[in-house]
Structures are given as C-alpha cells and as structure tokens.
Structure 1
Amino acid sequence: MADRKSERQVGIIGSGLIGHSFAMLYAAAGYRVRMYDIKPEQLRHALSIIDDQLEHLSQNELLRGKLTIKEQRALITGTNDFAECVKDAFFIQECVNESLELKREVHAKIDPICRKDAIISSSTSALVPSLISENLTNKNRFIVCHPTNPPFYAPLVEVIPAPWTDPEVVITTKELMAEIGQVPVIVKKEIDGFVFNRIQYSIIGECWRLYEEGVMSAEDIDKVMSEGLGRRYAFMGPLEITYLNADGLLIFGDLYRETLYRVQCSFGPPKKMEGPTLEKMHNEIAARIPLDKLYERRKWRDIRLASLQKLINELDESHPK
C-alpha cells in the first residue's frame, strides 16, 4: 500500500451498519473514504452515528489507529453521487441489503465506471461470489469480504474469491484487511453461507430447537454461550479447545466419538424460525431489551467487544500465541 494513504480513496456503497463500520475502519487506518447512499437522510444518520461512536470510543480510550477523532472524521465524506464514490476508488466495498437482484444491479453500475485496477468487493453474508459477478466485465477483480457484525468491533473477515478472481486480488485484499486491523481468513472454495454463517446457523438452529422443546429459557440459552462456551471462544476456536480438553484430537476421538455422534443424531432436521415459538421467543427477549433501546444495547455490546480486543492485544504482547 502507498505511504500517502489519505490520497487513496475507498468507495463504500451503502451507509447502514456494515457500511459505516467499514468507513470507520478505513479512516482509522488513514484512507480517504467516500460513502454513498441513495437516501440522503440515511447518509446523514450514518455520519451522525460515526461521530457518536468515535467520541464514545475516544472517551473510553478505545479509539483505533494513531489518528485523532478529527483526523479520522475528516477522511470520511458522504455522497449521494454514485460515480463520485466509485470512479477514483482503488477498493470498492458494496454493503447493500442481502438481495442477489439488488447486488447484481449495484455491481452492474460499478463495472463500467470503476478503475480497471480497482478491486470490487461485496460484503454479502451468504451469496457466493460467482452469483453476483458472473456477468461483469471486470469479474476477475471481484471478491467477497464478509465481515463479522459489527465489523469495527469484531475483526474477522471472510475473504472469498470467485472461480475467476485473479490470485493477486485475493492476496491484496487479504493484506488490506489485515492493514485496517481486521483478521482475514480465506474461504478456499465457494460454499453456501461461507464458514462463519454455517457455524453460526448450526448454533442458532440448536438454540431454537432447545427453546421450542421447552428445555431452557431464551435467557438461559444465551447464558450457556456468554458465560460458558463464549468465554473460551473469545480467544480460541472449537477445534483447539477440543484438542486441549482431551490431550489431543486422537484421544478425544477415542473418548467421545460415540457420544458426539449420538447427540448429533438427536438434533433432527432443520426447522424454520416462525410461528408462535418465534413470537414467544421475541417477546421474552424484548421484555429484557425493548426495541426502542436497541441502540443503547448495541453501544453496550460494542464497548465490551472493543475492550475485549484491547485486552486480547495486551495479552498477546505479554504472552504471545
């Protein structure tokens, strides 16, 4: 990457939660950001949220990067002009709603006006890259960067190339994600839902089944993760946890393969989240976290995520992996 990063533009299409989080990430790393939204009021709202979050992070000594709030904010510009956002950008991050038709429409607009050396990325959470990019002229420059939500506070990014994506694009994208403070992982081949969501959906699906069958309340199911599994998963993956818990995977296999298989067989087929059970679960959680308090609860969550990352960074320095 060039030394004078503030002269290099990143274009972000969509100013929702993912879009404005990515804008903060690139600005914290020193890049100039143009963030586009078709709705002026949504863009104003996003910029206001960025102002609020930067101030909140600064007050809690959790601001990313070496630039001040003023310097970071000055690098982010909102625009309702699509071409202004795209035409000079070396990296374009599409962050519109999860609709194949909409994403294809957006990328069809990007394709003829972007720089020929630009990398064109989508933040889709489940649509494989070939579905979005198959009709593009510059499809060899297309790649998916699926972030963890919220991207600014949870660093994992899945990098997924289409079958025709140039290898150089994969390498450059991975380097850029690492440079802005994220943790990129490469999904080597297209698979529905990628890896993050396939694991997440398996957890959500079993939580739904346990609730529907009356095994546990929604609050207690969440505690199983937040006070148990999640404490370990905060800094270690399930495969390494298994490895450590049983003196290696070979021993684990000898001790637990039959139990693991038996319990997995009891999961049954997937179920849709719908009907009276969905309403009951929603009402139980809403009684604790009303919908009009979501923004406050998200701030509560985000500060804890940022603080956890700060702690992990400090521990990695004093006790390297």
Structure 2
Amino acid sequence: MIHKLSIIGTSFLERIAPLCMIFDQISGDYGMSLGKAAIVGVGTIGRGWALLYAKAGYRVSLFDPSVAAMDAALGAIATSLDDMAAFGLVRGRDKIMARISIASTLRDAVADAEIIQESAPESLDAKREAIAEIGREAAPLSIIASSCSSLLPADIFQDAAGPDRCIVAHPFNPPHLVPLVELLAGPATSDETIERTRAIMLQLDQAPIILRKPVPGYVANRLQAAVINESMHLVANGVISPDDLDLCMTESLGRRWAFLGPFATMDLNADDGVAGYARRFREAYQELGRDLGVAEPWEETAIAAVTEACRARTPMLDLRSKREWRDRQLMWSLVRSRLGPRDDGTAAKEKA
C-alpha cells in the first residue's frame, strides 16, 4: 500500500499506517463466513454488491443471463479490490475473491442463500420478471432485496412468491464506495424482513436508511432531482455557467453536506438552532421555492451548454480515467471518515 501512495508524503503515511491497520481489521477480511448471498445481475451495481458481501464474510454466488457479463464480473471485482487495497480499505484480497463463485443456473445461485440481491436492468418488466423467477427458486426464508432505484415496490413485487420477504435495497453507484442504502418495504413486506435486511447492511458497513412510505424516485434521487433540475434551469436562463455551477456546489454546499446534511447544517448556522433558523429564513425559502424552475422541462440549450462544458473538461476518450479518478476520491473520502475524529463534541458532555 505504501509505495502506491508515496506521492502523498512519507510522514503522512507513517502517521496513518497504524490507524490503517485498525480499520483494515474493521472493514476487511475476518476469516469467517456469515452465510451465503446471491447476486442476480452482475453489471456495475451487482459487482459492487458482490464485493461488499464477500468482504464482510459472505460466500457469494453470481448469476446473470448474459454470458459476457458473467465473464467480465470476476476480473472487474478483482480490480476494484486491488484499488481498495491500495488505499488500505481492505485486507485479505485473495480470501475475499475466493468467496465469490459463478453459478451456471439461477437455481444454483440462490440455493440456501440468506439474501438474494436482485440487480437486473431498471425497467418494470425486467424487475418484475427477475423477482418472480427468483421467488420461485429461492428458499422460503431467503430475503429478496431489489437494487431498484425508482420503481415502486408494489409494482415490482406484484408477481413475487413470498412477497413478505421482498424489499427494495437501493444502493448508490458505485455501491462499494458509497455507503448509503435506501430500504423500502412493499405492501406485504414483514417487519422481520426489514430488520434482517437492515442488520445485513450494517454487517456490510453500509449506511441503511428506512423509508416510511413509498414515493416515486425514493428520497436521495428526489433530492438529487431537485438540485439538478434547478441547475439546468439556472443555466438555461443564463444565470450561471455550467462550470461555475459545479464550482458552487463543490466549494460550498457539497463541503458541508458531505458530513452534516442539510438539517444539521441549518441547526449549526443559527445561534438558537434550527428553530431560530426557521423563524428567520422560512419566508425567504418559501418565496424561493415559488420561484424555482424545477418543474420545467430540460431545455435543449441548457443540455447543450452543459455537454459542451463537460466535454471541454473531460473529452469522451478520457471518461474512463475520470471515473477512476472519481473512485479514488471516494476511497479517500472513506479513508478520511475512518481516520478522522469520531467525536462530534457530545461525548465529553455525556461523561460530565
């Protein structure tokens, strides 16, 4: 690990090395098995899930109707593990890979699995068909978790056998580097399924949140849609350039929201907390809300301007290397979150 990070500086690496060993033990290989997980659909999302389950100690069985996807899966997972190992985020790479196997049939993949992670293409027909077929082949107590990102559970679980064990577990791309998982129950999902799935996500070192009721697009994508739609609106109306819009987010809101979130940010931005913030700024935010262009369609001129700015920054031929750069930034974010102070200032008060 050290030689790959030598550009950062020896003193820094010497300082963090003992800490890296600590969280390697927390997030890496434990030398034990937690049971079996099946991944149905091994595109980018499915491969990320496979890495997470295997890293946590699960035996992982992969299946995909596409032979090409199956052929590429193990190599892609191994590459991701190598990248994470270079940042000290995993240890026992070979043991982790040894837990992952390819199944020749769906029945073999899901046999005796504690949880089955469905990661079929994001279309109603594909999801409904995959979940129905998984339900016919899976053991009665197996959890069927869909990686669906926007469709409502009542629709995708319509033909499921045992809908009480079906749940949406929506990850973010790439799942092995972005911890959030949105959990959303269907009409028949049992409380036991919700709690079991949440416990498994915590075993994977993910950050599960539970949606209390279904809403189109779920929560994170709705928040993202609000920001992106208004961003397009501002560019379309000549308020700001695409480059400066991105700079606005990375150098202000993005920095605070990365570790606080919007409500905690509001709470800290007023001497008397969020209640005082609301008293002072509620009307201003309501007025802004009435003026927002989030309901307007994406204008072609705005899309063209954003495309031109993005291609000027990153030519099409460089997109792959730019994604690799993004993943390195996400890995450093994970490193910093584990090396940084965990105390938010409340521990001393509790001891007092």
Offset of residue 52 of structure 1: 1.4
**Match of 1:286?**
311
Offset of residue 254 of structure 1: 2.1
SS in 1 for 2:122: coil
**One-letter identity of the residue aligned with 2:208:** P
1:68-99 residue CA offsets vs partner (Å, 9 max, x unmatched): 11011111123342222122211000111110
Quickly say closer, same or farther: Cα 1:295–1:43, change in 2 above 3 A: farther
**Match of 1:82?**
106
How do residues 111-130 of structure 1 correspond to structure 2 at under 5 angstroms?
111-130=135-154
Q: 1:21 aligns with which of 22, 30, 48?
A: 48
Aligned residues of 1:39 and 1:80 also touching (Cα < 8 A): no
Aligned residues of 1:10 and 1:33 also touching (Cα < 8 A): yes
User: TM (normalized to structure 1)?
Assistant: 0.93
Quickly say closer, same or farther: Cα 1:135–1:320, change in 2 above 3 A: farther
Offset of residue 187 of structure 1: 0.4
Aligned residues of 1:11 and 1:91 also touching (Cα < 8 A): yes
Aligned mates of 1:7, 1:29 — CA distance in 2: 8
Offset of residue 295 of structure 1: 2.4
Aligned mates of 1:290, 1:20 — CA distance in 2: 27
**One-letter identity of the residue aligned with 2:216:** D
Aligned residues of 2:233 and 2:294 also touching (Cα < 8 A): no
**Match of 1:60?**
87
> Whose Rg is larger?
2
**4+ aligned runs moved over 4 Å, structure 1:** 318-321
1:191-248 residue CA offsets vs partner (Å, 9 max, x unmatched): 1111111111101111111111111121211111112111111111101101110131
SS in 1 for 2:136: coil
**Match of 1:306?**
331
Greater shift in the superposed pair: 181-190 or 217-226: 217-226
**Match of 1:6?**
33
Quickly say closer, same or farther: Cα 1:296–1:189, change in 2 above 3 A: same
Quickly say closer, same or farther: Cα 1:236–1:38, change in 2 above 3 A: same
Aligned mates of 1:146, 1:123 — CA distance in 2: 5
User: TM (normalized to structure 2)?
Assistant: 0.85
Q: What fraction of aligned residue pairs are identical, expressed as a percent?
A: 34
Q: 2:188 aligns with which of 164, 180, 184?
A: 164
Aligned residues of 2:233 and 2:298 also touching (Cα < 8 A): no
Quickly say closer, same or farther: Cα 1:269–1:71, change in 2 above 3 A: closer
Quickly say closer, same or farther: Cα 1:77–1:274, change in 2 above 3 A: farther
Q: Does 1:42 align with 2:63?
A: no
**One-letter identity of the residue aligned with 1:55:** D
Q: 1:136 aligns with which of 124, 143, 160?
A: 160
**One-letter identity of the residue aligned with 2:254:** G
Offset of residue 286 of structure 1: 1.9
Aligned residues of 2:233 and 2:293 also touching (Cα < 8 A): no
**Match of 2:171?**
147
Aligned residues of 1:38 and 1:80 also touching (Cα < 8 A): no
SS in 2 for 1:11: strand
Aligned mates of 2:106, 2:316 — CA distance in 1: 33
Aligned mates of 2:86, 2:117 — CA distance in 1: 29
SS in 2 for 1:127: coil
SS in 1 for 2:114: strand
Aligned mates of 2:317, 2:245 — CA distance in 1: 23
**Match of 1:216?**
240
Offset of residue 14 of structure 1: 1.1
**One-letter identity of the residue aligned with 1:132:** I
Aligned residues of 2:167 and 2:189 also touching (Cα < 8 A): yes
Aligned mates of 2:66, 2:315 — CA distance in 1: 27
Aligned mates of 2:83, 2:251 — CA distance in 1: 26
Quickly say closer, same or farther: Cα 1:7–1:200, change in 2 above 3 A: closer
Aligned mates of 1:36, 1:274 — CA distance in 2: 40
Aligned mates of 1:44, 1:273 — CA distance in 2: 38
Aligned mates of 1:304, 1:212 — CA distance in 2: 30
**Match of 1:100?**
124
Aligned residues of 2:87 and 2:331 also touching (Cα < 8 A): no
The root-mean-square deviation of aligned C-alpha atoms, in Å, is: 1.9
Offset of residue 7 of structure 1: 6.6
Quickly say closer, same or farther: Cα 1:4–1:138, change in 2 above 3 A: farther
Offset of residue 62 of structure 1: 2.5
